[in-house]
Structure 1
């Protein structure tokens, strides 16, 4: 019965979030039950984007993180929910009392369950999934793996990375969950050095692994303007641009792990919609 139900749900579009309007305008249609890759160079807020995305959808989520500590993850979620900077959240948690309680209350409605540990192992994933099903009598609707190279044995071994991608595909099929996996693009290519703030093309994703998922997104961050760029470099059921020349632009707010609308970058012949200050998230 559970298998029948989960496959009936697979294929429907994931809940849309306002900040990704420019991405949707490119024809990007993330769907339930897909494997989705977010690829980018080091320091481009891949984890921030994944965390913001699942927090905004607020679907039951199991998040495997090899990089963040429990305190860091909780601080980023509380910052996202309240609009306070992560430094303010950390100070408030350390102060205790009502400040700590305010941040704990902000996390009360989160549907994200975290699993921390490096490396990520299949045994640990199996145990976490069993515990999740035991607790909720259902699979999570989203599973995040942060990131591919933090799987046991996959740091530099292409064969093992391919095996991980095959395993994640089977996981998505068996559970009906959307599996979001983060991965690195080359920092040493000519493009990385000549235009470091442009989303990497499909051939710059390490190991060529962006071809395996149903949907692969390439991301980059301009640290001078905090313009965050997302290109659809692979999409099985829609438009894509493997060169990553056509991309959506968002505003990144790293201090609060938030993203907001900016504009859509289209071919030069087509003018982009100008952004307005009202598009930017501000703390009330």
Structure 2
């Protein structure tokens, strides 16, 4: 996955069966990042979304597949839906939509998934932690969700990716809003629970996407988030790159 090359070169190693947290402030493309990441992994995935509608998720996946903007895809779905259904045919992501996320629903979706595919998904995404039933502001419930997610990873062997919020009200958020939040800015201190925790931030001026490894049980990390990998975000395509727009433009001109 070229977009993640700098992150991996820095020693970040997602491992099968781990719980991974992706934390960031509001509006930092956490859902887009997670969706792009699992689409690039191309592994059987069950994605629980309380933030995205089915139409939005389908549009984002179709945008990745076709190279059209999500706006173009949304308009095109009304006139030529077969084109986009074909583009989505190879996707290995199965979605479950609804808020709040309930463990009863998780169990039912897993049972249905196993019935359909005769195996557990290799990746399970929860978007996001505060959308679990009772988890909007209850620290105890959020801790319970993290413990249950760990049990789920152990029972199924799946890698669990949980999205979570960092504080928008801290001094750091106001003074340096485009920097990845440090570990102590993740709400509830819950970034310490997973085996791997990533902190993300988006600079809307340059579209530079910064990803810091703030916790890693079996590798290097920086809880201050001052050391981070860089990629570039194209929100309208739900795509991330390891080169800047100018570099891609120059490469295209040479070709």
TM-score with structure 2 setting the length: 0.96
Would the alpha carbon gap of residues 234 and 38 (structure 1) be closer, same or farther in structure 2, given more than 3 Å must change? Answer: same
Large movers: runs of 4+ above 3 Å: 278-281
**Other-structure match for 2:248:** 277
1:230 to 2:214 alignment? no
The answer on 1:172 being equivalent to 2:153 is: yes
CA displacement 1:15-56 (0-9 Å, x = unmatched): xx1110010111100011000000000000000000001111
Show structure 1 runs of 5+ residues with no match: 1-16, 264-274
Displacement, 1:280? 8.2
* Alpha-carbon distance in structure 1 between the residues aligned to 2:196 and 2:85: 34
Cα root mean square deviation, aligned: 1.7
1:21-100 residue pairs with structure 2 within 5 A?
21-95=5-79, 99-100=80-81
Gaps of 5+ in 2: none
Q: Distance in 2 between matches of 1:64 and 1:276?
A: 35
Post-superposition shift, 1:79?
Answer: 0.3
Whether contact under 8 Å (1:118, 1:150) holds in the other structure is yes
Distance 2:164 2:93 in 1: 21
Three-state SS of the structure 2 residue aligned to 1:262 is: coil
1:207 aligns with 2:188: yes
Please give the alpha-carbon distance, in whole angstroms, between the structure 1 residues aligned to 2:153 and 2:24.
Answer: 22
The residue matched to 1:276 in structure 2 has which SS? helix
The aligned residue for residue 86 of structure 2 is 105
Taking the aligned partners of 1:43 and 1:117, their CA distance within structure 2 comes to 20
Higher RCO, 1 or 2 (CA under 8 Å, sep at least 6)?
Answer: 2
The reply to whether residue 160 of structure 1 matches residue 141 of structure 2 is yes
SS in 1 for 2:232: strand
The Cα of 1:262 is off from its aligned counterpart by: 3.1
Counterpart in the other structure of 1:132: 113
